[in-house]
Structure 1
Amino acid sequence: MSTSGKEARHNEKQVLSDGEIKAQAREVLYKNMVSGRNAGFDYHFTKPSPGTYPFQYFWDTCFHIFTLTALGEVDMAKKHVHSLFQMQRPDGFVGHMNYWKRLWPARITDLLQLRPRDVPRLYKPHMSALVQPPIAAQAVLRIYQHSQDLCFVKKLLPKLKRYYRWLAENRDFEGEGLLSIITPFESGMDWKASYDPVLKYDKGQAGPLLFWKVLQVDAHNFLKGYDLQAIYKSNRFIVKDAAFNTVYAQNLEALAELCSVAGDEDGQRFLDLAEMTEKSIFRYMYDEADAAFYDLHGHRFKKLRVRTGTIFFPVVLKSVPDEVCRNVLERHLLHKDGFHVPYPVPSLAVDEPAFNPEESLYIWRGPTWVVFNWFLQQFLLKKEHKQEASDLVLSVKQLITRSGFREYYNPFTGEGHGAEDFTWSGLVVDMINSQKEEDS
């Protein structure tokens, strides 16, 4: 990983041991864990961070499952996924947030100077009307790989099949295998800079105007009653995110594998759908001149030419030619084209106008998030880039040693920002295990 990799290896003695990191990750998960019963529902989940993110979030729960299984906590992981699908609608929909006992984050009640008992609880458990990256099939497959519990798979499989069918039927508007999101918050990467052109925000650095433009998108969807066909027709914010669709394709394959395990005949259908999605990702998102996979906007699939950290994501797909994978990695990750920093991988290329590595309300516009390293490590190991994969793991270990389990980190200094005791950074445990398996 060029100079940054050499620096990381030089500082290898300055990191916590793998055992210490695992112990701290376990402590953070259990500190943030919540369970109970409300209105006939049993719930058990982990808050991404106490106070700041108090609800059960869709892809956060899946990340927790990867960390829990890496720590050997398979039964706890099962409880998390059962809770995630507790309120699934008959048509298969699962919202990106499950509200179990609280309506507002703690910071809102603090702002209003309210005590918890002052906040009315005149609502029942419910889900949001939005979605998040659909990584649930991989999470369930990971649990099966660690437990070989076929009964568990058979219990969850009908729920998973309904969920992915709902996505295909309701978010693949054009029938090309690509899913659209209808607000920046659905990608899981709020304030992502590639969405700025869609929002008609051209000021580069984020500010209050960007906040209001995003708020207007959500208000628009609300006023449409979340009628997806009406929202699509209005074309206000219809984005095919590269990371979201990569995750979708991967999880269709994982779902097919779960079908095979359970003796379910629908596996081939999901494989065919995954193949169509992968072909469309390569056809519409890949830009040969820039060696990058871009997000798309609108009915005509217009490329959003902003180099966010997700330009790498589709390289993990099996159907992407090896030459393309090499071009993308060599151009952006292994050399110095915008992503060369002491603590990779930044969420936005350093030479993009919107780049901001500091703490901000407007996240995903520069800082390093552990999830990018976790995602890319899988590919690097498969493609025999063992040293580069090892460098990513070491970089994350250095960040946690320096700043603890934080929401995101300054890619130049390693200083931690955002939420504290943030569970996503626990993905480092899965990275450590993957690296050891590869080296053994």
Structure 2
Amino acid sequence: MAGLAERCQQVLEASWISGERDGVRFAYTRPSPGRYRWQWYWDSCFAAMAWRHFDPARSRTELETLLAAARPDGFIGHTIFWEHPVSGARVLFYNVIHRDDFMTATIQPPALALAWHMAVGDPALEPRVVAHHEAITAERDLEGDGLIWILQPDESGLDASPQFDPIWRERAQGLPGFAELVRRNREREFRIEAVRADGDPVVCEVMTNVIHGLSRLALGLSSITPALIARCYDEPSGLFLPAVMPAVSSRIPLTVAALSPLALPDLPDEIGHRLAEYLFDEHRFWTEVPAPSVALVEPSFSLQEHFDGLRRYWRGPTWINSAWLLWRGIVRLGYEAQAATLARSIAETVVREGLREFYGPHDGRGMGATDFAWSALSLELLDSGNASAGVPGSP
């Protein structure tokens, strides 16, 4: 696609920042220089994947900077404040225990090993990457089946996704009550066992575990796909739904997360084809720029960027990272025409609108932050050979 690589490289290079904090050198890609200046965990993982097309050394530096922030046990928070700590009213919504903390005490989907495999080499040979993923599993595998659980919606990276509305209700992200959820969890030092013991929700979220599963495969570990099917696959509907403790009785809205297991290379084909039927349904997800983050038929679908002055993400627009996950799956299942359509639509939209945070699913209108680095993942869709990247034995 003419012009796509140039746009992506320009944004990545303009977003690169380096410096030193307490004798530790850092260098990373700001997710969006005008809006997001700190280092976000999965943003850096996606940026590293994109950098491999231009400067593989920066891919490694990006991920090494994440590792430089790790605690001795391997834990890495979802936001790292290299230049200055969070301040002012932001403290109400950021998952820090103390105002001057170096990073948040919560996670994002553990993509580090996947990114390392795609952009650097074998993550199993890097002890710090291994330690990081072991720390995530040790803390968040609450049921012993390899799946991980989250204690707040933002740990999924999907923030205000409607799938969380019936779970956290008035404390869902993007609502005023979210500050109360953060406050309660801060008192527990964001320890998930304490959250569960108090009877507040913990969630086995689907897309989080898809990325966790891809990282495990990149590390050469056993697959969690059978466990994800056993816990989250709803046979009657053919969809994956989050598991919740304590269980909720309200219906979970249909979002793109329900289709994300398409990206798992060992997902049984019969399940994958059922998910693909939903993806290719023009009344749900197969729009001009697929796939919207919420099915079009859902009452919660919205392209509104602000609600009562608060940003509520993942409630309708198309995001490049989720489109990339779905694309990987339909390539594997042999849907060549649909995969080419999705790839072409995404690439043309990014060339026309620039690297935006998300896009209108009907017209491709650029929305959210500008110069958004992880939208450079659109480069991956240019070659179907990239669909298996990060899986052992593949490029």
What amino acid sits opposite 1:196 in the alignment? D
SS at match of 2:37: coil
SS at match of 2:341: helix
1:359 aligns with 2:312: no
C-alpha distance in 1 between matches for 2:26 and 2:57: 14
Query: Is contact 1:307-1:348 (8 Å) kept?
Result: yes
1:81 aligns with 2:63: yes
Q: More deviation in 246-255 or 394-403?
A: 394-403
Seen in structure 2, the aligned counterparts of structure 1 residues 105 and 50 have a Cα distance that, compared at 3 Å, is farther
Determine the structure 2 residue equivalent to 1:312: 259
Determine the structure 2 residue equivalent to 1:432: 382
Determine the structure 2 residue equivalent to 1:231: 195
What amino acid sits opposite 1:97 in the alignment? T
Structure 2 portions without partners, runs of 5+: 91-98, 389-395
Query: Is contact 1:405-1:421 (8 Å) kept?
Result: yes
Seen in structure 2, the aligned counterparts of structure 1 residues 429 and 185 have a Cα distance that, compared at 3 Å, is same
**Which of 332, 348, 364 is equivalent to 2:294?**
348
C-alpha distance in 1 between matches for 2:347 and 2:361: 13
Residue 215 of structure 1: how far off its partner (Å) = 1.9
Determine the structure 2 residue equivalent to 1:191: 160
Residue 383 of structure 1: how far off its partner (Å) = 1.8
SS at match of 1:35: strand
Determine the structure 1 residue equivalent to 2:211: 247
Residue 305 of structure 1: how far off its partner (Å) = 2.4
Determine the structure 1 residue equivalent to 2:81: 99
Determine the structure 1 residue equivalent to 2:3: 20
SS at match of 2:155: helix
C-alpha distance in 2 between matches for 1:125 and 1:181: 21
Query: Is contact 2:255-2:293 (8 Å) kept?
Result: yes
Query: Is contact 1:45-1:79 (8 Å) kept?
Result: yes
Determine the structure 1 residue equivalent to 2:372: 422
Residue 51 of structure 1: how far off its partner (Å) = 2.8
SS at match of 1:380: helix
SS at match of 2:47: helix
Residue 303 of structure 1: how far off its partner (Å) = 8.7
Pairs aligned (count)? 377
Query: Is contact 2:34-2:370 (8 Å) kept?
Result: no
Residue 352 of structure 1: how far off its partner (Å) = 0.9
- Deviations 1:41-63 (Å, cap 9, x if unpaired)? 11000001013111111110010
Residue 278 of structure 1: how far off its partner (Å) = 1.6
SS at match of 1:36: strand
SS at match of 1:231: helix
Seen in structure 2, the aligned counterparts of structure 1 residues 391 and 420 have a Cα distance that, compared at 3 Å, is same
Determine the structure 2 residue equivalent to 1:117: none
Which structure features the higher share of helix residues?
1
**Which of 335, 347, 354 is equivalent to 1:404?**
354
1:182 aligns with 2:151: yes
Determine the structure 2 residue equivalent to 1:64: 47
Pairs within 5 Å for 1:211-360? 211-256=175-220, 270-271=221-222, 274=223, 277-300=224-247, 305-330=252-277, 332-360=278-306
TM-score norm. by structure 2 comes to: 0.89
Question: What is the percentage of aligned positions where both structures have the same residue?
Answer: 27
TM-score norm. by structure 1 comes to: 0.80
Q: More deviation in 358-367 or 333-342?
A: 333-342
Residue 376 of structure 1: how far off its partner (Å) = 1.4
Query: Is contact 2:276-2:330 (8 Å) kept?
Result: no
Seen in structure 2, the aligned counterparts of structure 1 residues 127 and 350 have a Cα distance that, compared at 3 Å, is same
